[in-house]
Amino acid sequence: MIDGGNRLEGEVVISGAKNSALPIIASTILNSNQVEITNCPDIHDVSIMFDILETLGCKVHKDKSSVRIDASNLNGFEIPENLMHEMRSSVIIVGAMLGRMKKCVFTYPGGCEIGARPINIHLEGFKQLGVSIVETQGKITCECEKLFGADITLDFPSVGATENLMLASCLADGITYIRNVAREPEIKDLQDFLNEMGAKIVGAGSNTIVVNGVKELHEASHTVIPDRIEAGTYLCMAVATRGNVLLKNVIPEHLASTIHKLRQIGAKVETKKDMISIRMINEILPVNIKTMPYPGFPTDMQSQFASLLTVSSGTSIIVETIFENRFKYVNELIRMGANITIEGRSAIIQGVEKLNGANVEMRDLRGGAGLVIAGLMASGTSEISGISFLERGYENFIKKLQLIGAKINKK
């Protein structure tokens, strides 16, 4: 339940990044020694990853935002279908499992339905490392005697495929080149963690990653980077309510394209080492946005900006180039009085005077965040259902918002 129109003011401490913690937790399977991960967000997707590790024989000790993982007694190589179905990132386990056990049995991953989300690039890369892949009745069995270094070029800079091939080639025989890779900050964070465990990887952040296979890994500890998408979401909420908010524990460089668009909208944004302050006084100006792989504008910020632009002083166009079905939230915004037309992969947003509170439903994680932004802006009360989507990726969402003045609560 949100009572809209309340100005947000105060400080928000950003949590660890979901999209970094998930591949890092998955990669601990490569290691038969203990590891410690700190700044790990307490969100639903992370607990699913822990559940998968425990079913495979790992021990997981959580203490607030730090976790110790012991994968010395790994005893399985089949990922339970129900857990695979719950979350897209479960597919990252496959690369780690191949590295450690040379075998993995799994089904197609689930997760937010924002597009077809095939895994062909992952499987194509595994084949080049010497993995045989058999699919029977929806079950995929990947196995090999040994993994061999290879020269792999990705058809698209897929985040998941880049991570999976980094994991699978860590313990391979020889050197692996992975070209046209994703350059997201989460890839660099994964490389840093793997190297802290004794891997030999260079190139994260560029378009080619080189993995020099090693025999084994050792104990390590790592602090997960801050969540740039959580940070971007709170910045949009501050703008939505003409607020004045300071974000702490954030890496401003990771939000360069988001901050650029916020300034174009008319927000005053200042950055310091690990802080971002934002103030919004004037009307929201229209902007055009095209989602792109990093360092381009993140697709995970698309719906939050769409909400803001529903009340801009003109017409904005958002082009979604990464996922083919990521406008599910639009009908809900239209129920709140927005004027949006969808043409193929573009949303044409005609700014209106104001939004009205309404009963709306979340259909995925980031679309859900967009609806909360609309609820904070709207006049009157909004009832937003489906918040389990939000709890997948935002830690202590309601509490953090209440602390900066939002009239929001769970019913």
* Catalytic residue set: 112
Residues 346-385 that bind ligand EPZ (CB under 6 A): 365-366
User: Binder to ligand EPZ among 189, 300, 320, 395 (CB under 6 A)?
Assistant: 300
Q: How far is the CB of 126 from ligand EPZ (least distance, A)?
A: 11
Q: How far is the CB of 353 from ligand EPZ (least distance, A)?
A: 31
Binding mask 1-20 for ligand EPZ (x = CB under 6 A): -----------------xx-
Question: CB–CB of 24/189 below 8 Å?
Answer: yes
**Applying CB under 6 A, which part among 35-43, 112-120, 195-203, 347-355 lies near ligand EPZ?**
112-120
Nearest distance, CB of residue 213 and ligand EPZ, angstroms: 23
In whole angstroms, what is the distance from residue 348 CA to residue 340 CA? 6
List alpha helices for 339-383, DSSP H. 365-377
By beta-carbon proximity to ligand EPZ, the closer residue of 299 and 307 is 299
Per CB under 6 A, which of residues 148..177 are in contact with ligand EPZ? 156, 158-161
Instruction: Return the number of the residue (333 or 365) whose C-beta is nearest ligand EPZ.
Output: 365
To the nearest 10 degrees (0 to 180), the angle between helices 256-265 and 228-240 is 10
CB of 189 to ligand EPZ, least distance (A): 11
The CA distance from 225 to 338, in Å, is 35
Q: To which residue do tokens 């974000």 refer?
A: 247
Catalogue the E-assigned strands of 250-299. 268-272, 275-279, 289-290
| Tokens standing for residue 207 | 């378009």
115 scored as a contact of ligand EPZ (CB under 6 A): yes
Exposure of 214 in the CB half-sphere (CA atoms within 13 A): 18
Q: Say whether residue 236 binds ligand EPZ (CB under 6 A).
A: no
Q: Is the dihedral of CA 125, 126, 130, 132 positive or negative?
A: negative
Shortest distance, CB of residue 315 to ligand EPZ, whole angstroms?
A: 26
List the interface residues with ligand EPZ, window 87-106 (CB under 6 A): 88-89
Candidates 77, 234, 323, 394: give the one binding ligand EPZ (CB under 6 A).
Answer: 323
Of residues 43-62, those binding ligand EPZ (CB under 6 A): none
Question: Which one, 123 or 358, has the nearer CB to ligand EPZ?
Answer: 123
Judged by CB under 6 A, the residue of 83, 112, 147, 167 near ligand EPZ is 112
Nearer to ligand EPZ, 246 or 394 (CB): 394
DSSP secondary structure letter of residue 228: H
- Binding characters for ligand EPZ, 174-213, by CB under 6 A (x = yes): --------x-------------------------------
Residue nearest ligand EPZ, Cβ-based: 160
Residues 6+ positions from 47 with CB-CB distance below 8 Å:
none
Give 356's DSSP letter. B
Do the Cβ atoms of 249 and 65 come closer than 8 Å? Answer: no
Q: What percent of the residues of the chain are helix, what percent strand, and what percent coil, each to the nearest 5?
A: 35, 25, 35
Q: Report d(CA 273, CA 275) in Å as an integer.
A: 6
Buried b (16+ CB within 10 A) or exposed e, 263-288: eebbbebebeeeebbbbbeeebebbe
Q: Which residues pair with 59 in a beta bridge?
A: 70
Residue with smaller CB distance to ligand EPZ, 18 or 222: 18
Residues that bind ligand EPZ (CB under 6 A): 18-19, 22, 88-89, 112, 115-122, 156, 158-161, 182, 299-300, 322-323, 365-366, 393
